[in-house]
Amino acid sequence: MNAPTNISCPCIPEKSLPQGDAIPDSLALSAPVLMQQGWLDAPQADFLAAEIRVGWTPSHLVVLAEIQDRDIFTQATGPNERTWELGDVFEMFLKPEDRSDYVELHVTPPNFRLQLQIESPGKPATKLNDGVFSSRVKIDTANQKWTVYAEVPASLVSGREHIEAGESWLFSFSRYDASRDGRPPILSSTSPHQAINFHRIHEWGKITFFS
């Protein structure tokens, strides 16, 4: 079993963040974290890579995910749908070390979002209003990839308005790579899950924020 991934998350000057609908080609983020299929002895033949980098400002976690995908699609038509049943989706799980509750945030290729707050694993999820975090998506069919840029408020995750240097959150980034031909989606995660259950918090990684 691989050990959970720990990320040293760099602070980003807010003036460096992309404006409007822009998605950055380069930003001073962490080293990339890669998706895997820890519950399998070897990845599935159709498994494709995804790389995720993170950074932070005093008020937000910044996430940039580059997702390889041969068939970019979803049947989602609006916010807060059951995105994992409808096609491709990128998922973010975030939890402060000092709280039992956590958030599960989804982004689809058309940039429809699902926002959930969960008291603890196995408890019913509460849907949050669309827009509690912001996201942008760039689809590049020529190069068979889509890119997600997200800014997640500290208040949404920790209940505090600001992130402090030295603070840590638990995290996991996951993915459903679906195909429009109806084949079962290919699942992957940055966490070394030993079973297909993205809510196995003890296998999540840790983000530590440094200045």
Which H or E run contains 156? helix 154-158
Sign of the Cα pseudo-torsion (49, 40, 73, 71, in order): positive
Going from N- to C-terminal start, the domains of the chain cover: 30-201
pLDDT at 1 over 70: no
| Cβ-proximal residues to 72 (8 Å cutoff; 6+ apart), any chain | 88, 109, 139, 141, 144, 146
What b/e readout covers 85-104, taking b as 16+ CB neighbours within 10 angstroms? ebbbbbbbbbbbeeeeebbb
What pTM did the predictor assign?
Answer: 0.96
| Cβ-proximal residues to 138 (8 Å cutoff; 6+ apart), any chain | 23, 146, 147, 149
pLDDT at 198 over 80: yes
pLDDT at 74 over 80: yes
pLDDT for position 40: 97
Q: Indicate the CATH number for domain 30-201.
A: 2.60.40.1190
pLDDT in tens, 116-159: 999 999 899 999 999 999 999 999 999 999 999 999 999 999 99
pLDDT in tens, 158-180: 999 999 999 999 999 999 999 99
